[in-house]
Structure 1
């Protein structure tokens, strides 16, 4: 049998395995079918290629251009999902597992593409937070900005998610403008290789933006510097070895780790047998034990239920697990496939034996179980194994040993504080869940356990139809955890992008900050509008372009008519004596929303034109009351522009209202959609 050669992609070329390559076996049959690894890879050349070719090309692009690129990559992968599915069966995963990995990874790309377009500027500098007033008169200001690191991101991924594991790191990296070198786990690198080929063949990425190491990294980490990032997923021991590299320590190389995690799920004291929450809990635990054959970094390893319901949990969970059909993942009737390799199977058995020192196995015999369509002695098959720890307070190994497979341990708690303490015994996890219909239980778990867990998933009868599950990290939310879980964060929307950027404090005049951030800062010299801004298309407007309107006097009749028309007869507008007793008002004053309406009347161009819609108003503040007889005028400035489609873009206008004494009475930001 000719073994498939799994290549690396280095400095623009595909490099086949050499004589020292590692053999990869099918999880189903145990037979070798591929080789991967090349000990002669020019790792310094790969790093140089990323830094000098890929990085500059990506940094020339705006955030929006990079977001469009990521969306195009997702579409390219989506068009060839089936070939990825077909190849992934060799990892032991069933069809629903492929959807978690492949569809989940593609979906993550789409989310980052969307967030890049909606939450980041169509520019090169990301503004982090609001302006800081550093001087009395506003001529010296501060602003935090984020710009792309000028190095390379080295992604070291685990075997269990060869596609999602790559894409959930790659999407925020590319969006930040940083090239990536991807190193998948060798056991499943053939799936990652195919996904990389699909993306590269699509012709979307600039040269040097993405490289692939199939096999070992060699001494690549010894060549990293302060502009580089290492993002790792895997065991705590491997993470410790990598992050202890003297070069990484000496050069303060950013190191993001997602590692071992003794995740827990707490059944709330209110969730008695017969409640929707109890049934939901059993379903969630069973799914997390068997999805990907339990090879998920977020899988439930410790099942924490009240002492009065522990036996009911064991019985219900055992009954559900007994219905799981184990076998060839290519069969439609299979509900749990194989582990990724026989080596992984042996590791799980060894860890299960350690758990057995403190807990009794109450379901699943690894020596006696059925496998359909495959030879269980040759393939990496195991049954779900459920343990019961009767004395979790005096146990240690159930709280520090992760059997990375279909293995979990039930333990009982006396009260909710005890449940929280048991969950925290894991010394840091990626996720802990609580299934409860009692909001006070959920709040107590968050307050008592939040510091120990990267994510707390709460579910009950109200949210269960739409919830995504205990074990589903979402690209919108951070994925990571403290302590044992590695102390890192991934994804989290724009938060994840900022891991690959440098936050810098910028100090200077309003004009300097406007030029750097491409967002108009008050105090910057105005660009006088030569025509009404509302008559100008999106592409014709300049940042800082300003319209100053005529003034309008506010009368008592205006105030009373507005009150009658709207029904807003609040005393400050209608009762002079009552208003004077209020420390904020000198007497009757105009409605704030009357002022906004008058402001619109002063600056709006009524005729049909490029302004398509008013889509919102942000950051409204009223600073000084307006009395009858006062006048107001408006300054309307283009603050920021964001292209939304090829047909229109969003314009953010800075609007100030001042009175006859040039005192500011109101300020806000107006959002319009303008034809391109």
Structure 2
């Protein structure tokens, strides 16, 4: 194939490789297939373009606008993923590996698009937490809000996932309303470049929202300010150098790192040979060793099993690994392809030799193994290598050396406390897994190891058919870890979006908070609508529009009828003496659900109209009992409106029930779907 020029996209222009360009070799053949890099990139111009063009365009859009944009981008990539597959084989990845990287990245973007529509407002301000009452009468309140940073996000990604690694950072960044400059690892940047081209050519993104550096960043990090973010994935050594940049330190630039991780998997003491858990453990470890040729930040590096089961685990795991066909990833039967480059192969072998100082290799000989359809001497192929450490308590390098390939070390534990201690010896990981059917074992590990690991993955016979696997970070859950793993967090749903936003405490009157958050705050101005709110379409309703009902007296007959009709004859409603002995009641009181039913009857408009469905209640509280002879009235206010599609939107109503003395008896939020 002809040499591929991998370009950068800077300030709206594609820039071909130039001075300082580096050659990129195929992982399969070792032959040079591409070149990337240009030392003359105007990095300050790229930053200015992102801040002055991309940022303002994104911030004009609402969260829902940006979520729809993400969905469209994911759909476009999904239509063109075969081209990404075809190119990605050169990285050494198999078709199964493509499913993790390319399909996984697209799926992550779809999830963030969905969460943006479901969990974030159709507005420009994200409300973080509840309103805080800062005064006796509620005229002075507090609220935390999140708004987009007005800088640029610089994403520095690793070589192992050229598509997912980009999209899992890009999705929350764009959803937050922040432009991104993506810098993939040079070894696989040709795959990232194609994905970026596809997104830009779709016409979905506003100008300046996405730029690409294929090659080195130059002095870009020296030009960052307090509104910018750096999100890094790679080695701890590189992360330390970048994090220590004086400009980043001086300007308090946000720095999110996902780096080295000595992940562990614990075989529970109950998981004996012959149990589903034992077989599952062997399957999970084998998969994590061989998927992406072990080039995963979440791969299992340390295998922790009961001392009595070490020989059984080694035998079962060796038998399974022996069935792994290594070779050209384009061949259908290949189960493990090559490492990304021969340089990476040398690094893996050097790290394996260090581990070999404290552990014995019990499977996999890098000098003697079969490769199908390729030349092992030219490509970056290695076999899965399993080491056994007999003295894990005195060993050091097996707990601090990561061979970023198909290399794992098994070690024995005496009891569960010992297993936890060994897992924590890694000084911080992205994930630790426990295969057990005993909930008590899971609880003990969670308490003992939780502080050392970003994610704890438990699996057994009950969940294994639907579980996603030890090594699969999900967009719904936090991806990151303490200590050696970098101390950062990515994804995690809306949590990940907030990394690219500023949390600000606002204080003021209910009207001020209502205006800023576009959500009515109790105590704020109430708007009297021209007609009953249930007769008005979604677009006609105003936030703060309020209906006050006439009062209704609750009788003893009402209480008894409701009790016998529903079967709820709880003593507080039926036995006056028993109710008086209860510290919460003055005597017999009305059922809380009777009050809710009465409230609905008081504010409902029964005719067919724009209210399509009642979809639930949130935050229900019963605050003062209502006895026979008391009266109740209802205030119904439009608290928030959220579009759902072209036909209807969700209306969140604030409902307050008060008694004859204007004391609050109950309060809740009613959700309805209203037609446009």
Please, what TM-score do these two structures have when normalized by structure 1?
A: 1.00
2:666 matches 1:666? yes
| Runs of at least 5 residues in structure 1 that lack an aligned partner in the other structure | none
Note the C-alpha offset of 1:2.
3.9
**1:4-23 aligned within 5 A:** 4-23=4-23
Q: Which deviates further from its counterpart, 616-625 or 396-405?
A: 616-625
1:172 match:
172
2: distance between equivalents of 1:583 and 1:352? 69
- RMSD across aligned positions (CA): 0.6
Instruction: Using the TM superposition, give the Cα deviation of residue 474 of structure 1 relative to its aligned residue in structure 2, in angstroms.
Output: 0.2
Taking the aligned partners of 1:452 and 1:584, their CA distance within structure 2 comes to 45
What aligned pairs does 1:32-47 form with structure 2 within 5 A after superposition?
32-47=32-47
Check conservation: 2:157, 2:184, Cα contact below 8 A. Answer: yes
Q: Secondary structure at the match of 1:392?
A: coil
1:664 Cα deviation from its structure 2 partner: 1.2
Please give the alpha-carbon distance, in whole angstroms, between the structure 2 residues aligned to 1:666 and 1:263: 50
Q: Give matches, 1:135-150, under 5 Å.
A: 135-150=135-150
CA shift, 1:586, in A, is 1.2
Q: Deviations over 1:204-248 (max 9, x none)?
A: 000000000000000000000000000000000000000000000
Question: Which residues of 2 match residues 203-352 of structure 1 at below 5 A?
Answer: 203-352=203-352
Residue aligned with 2:393, SS:
helix
Q: Could you tell me which residue of structure 2 aligns to residue 528 of structure 1?
A: 528
The number of equivalent residue pairs is: 676
Q: SS of the counterpart of 1:309? A: helix
Please name the residue that 1:555 is paired with: 555
Q: Residues 242-641 of structure 1: matches in 2 within 5 Å? A: 242-641=242-641
Give the superposition deviation at 1:19.
3.5
Distance 2:104 2:75 in 1: 13
What pairs up with 1:102-121 in 2 under 5 angstroms?
Answer: 102-121=102-121
Distance apart, 1:276 and its partner CA: 0.4
> How far apart, CA to CA, are the structure 1 residues paired with 2:584 and 2:343?
74
Structure 1 position 606, deviation (Å): 0.2
**1:295-316 Cα shifts (integer Å, max 9, x gaps):** 0000000000010000100000
Mapping of residues 127-166 of structure 1, within 5 Å = 127-166=127-166
Structure-2 separation of matches of 1:446 and 1:551: 53
Q: Which stretch has the larger CA shift, 471-480 or 657-666?
A: 657-666
CA deviation string 1:167-210 (max 9, x = no partner): 00000000000000000000000000000001001100000000
Question: Shift of residue 352 of structure 1?
Answer: 0.5
- Residue pair 2:19, 2:40 contacting (<8 A) in 1 also: no
User: After the TM superposition, which segments of 4 or more aligned residues of structure 1 sit over 4 Å from their partners?
Assistant: none
SS at match of 1:52: helix
Shift of 1:575: 1.1
Q: 3-state DSSP class of the match of 2:308?
A: coil
- Structure 2 stretches lacking a partner, 5+ long: none
Tell me which moved more, 580-589 or 613-622. 580-589
Q: Deviations over 1:248-295 (max 9, x none)?
A: 000000000000000000000000111100000000000000000000
In the alignment, the residues of structure 1 paired with residue 268 and residue 334 of structure 2 have an alpha-carbon distance, to the nearest angstrom, of 32
> Is structure 2 residue 70 aligned with structure 1 residue 73?
no
Deviations 1:614-655 (A, max 9, x none): 000011111111111111111000000000111100000000
Aligned to 1:645: 645
Partner Cα distance (1:230, 1:19) in 2:
26
Partners of 1:198 and 1:2 lie apart in 2 by 21
1:525 CA drift (Å) = 1.2
SS in 1 for 2:64: helix
TM-score (norm 2): 1.00
Q: Alpha-carbon deviation of 1:20?
A: 2.0
